[in-house]
Chains A and B, each alone.
Chain A
Amino acid sequence: GQNIDQPTEMTATEGAIVQINCTYQTSGFNGLFWYQQHAGEAPTFLSYNVLDGLEEKGRFSSFLSRSKGYSYLLLKELQMKDSASYLCAISNSGYALNFGKGTSLLVTP
């Protein structure tokens, strides 16, 4: 079985930093993905972690602790266009992803 938990909603101010957490329980682990999805659109890939530690990519960073079943996505210098849903997904067999319900982030002026 598998369980992926994320906060349902978050609000942050333009220019600030926000951390979106994801905790998971899984019987197998091949990596963790973060996707961004604007309303009514397709998800787009943000990051991938398979080893413990921090992966940085511009304003976005993602952290993984496999022993704790924990990841977070860090967004810096928030912009209004960052208002979207952020999906945490686990690959546990290599062929498909299991998604959490997503975190809806609202960036306010």
Chain B
Amino acid sequence: DGGITQSPKYLFRKEGQNVTLSCEQNLNHDAMYWYRQDPGQGLRLIYYSQIVNDFQKGDIAEGYSVSREKKESFPLTVTSAQKNPTAFYLCASSISREAPYEQYFGPGTRLTVT
């Protein structure tokens, strides 16, 4: 079955540690995205990538980093510089970077930093 996988579903870390969230898709989509969702808030864009080896900052990129070495994979690192890392993180992909095609979302990773 085609889809987007994120792992793990729940992640706990101590303050000051970097942590990497996994996102893999087998939909052959060009574009991939990372969003963050806080209680009572909409989704906010962290980073996006339109093609391999290229990515752009979204609205709240500070304290995060990404890589796009393969079309299928777009991992997100939450660094110790991120002031409020506890949140629900969603990865998404879309069929083309040119058209506003619908985005497909992974199941999300809930990160708790204490």
Q: Tell me the dominant secondary structure on chain B's binding face.
A: strand
Given contacts A91-B100, A94-B97, contact A41 B108 (CB under 8 A): yes
Q: A33-B102, A102-B42 are in contact. Are A41 and B97 (CB under 8 A)?
A: no
State the 7 A-B residue pairs at the shortest beta-carbon distance, nearest first: A91-B100, A99-B42, A42-B105, A99-B43, A30-B100, A101-B42, A31-B100
In the complex, residue of chain B having the shortest beta-carbon distance to the beta carbon of A100: B42
Residues of B21-72 at the interface with A, using a CB-CB cut-off of 8 Å, are: 31, 33, 35, 40-45, 48, 50, 56, 58
Q: Say if the beta carbon of B76 comes within 8 Å of chain A.
A: no
Q: Mark B74-109, 1 if CB is under 8 A from A, else 0.
A: 000000000000001010000001111011111110
What's the nearest-Cβ distance from chain A to residue B91, in Å?
Answer: 9
* Residues of A participating in the B interface, judged by any CB pair closer than 8 Å: 4, 8, 30-31, 33, 40-45, 48, 50, 87, 89, 91, 94-102
- CB B71 to nearest CB in A, in angstroms, measures 16
Chain B interface residue count, Cβ-Cβ cutoff 8 angstroms: 27
* CB–CB A101/B40 < 8 A: yes
Give Cα A26–Cα B98 distance, bound, in whole angstroms: 19
Known contacts A31-B100, A87-B42, A91-B100: A96-B33 contact under CB 8 Å: yes
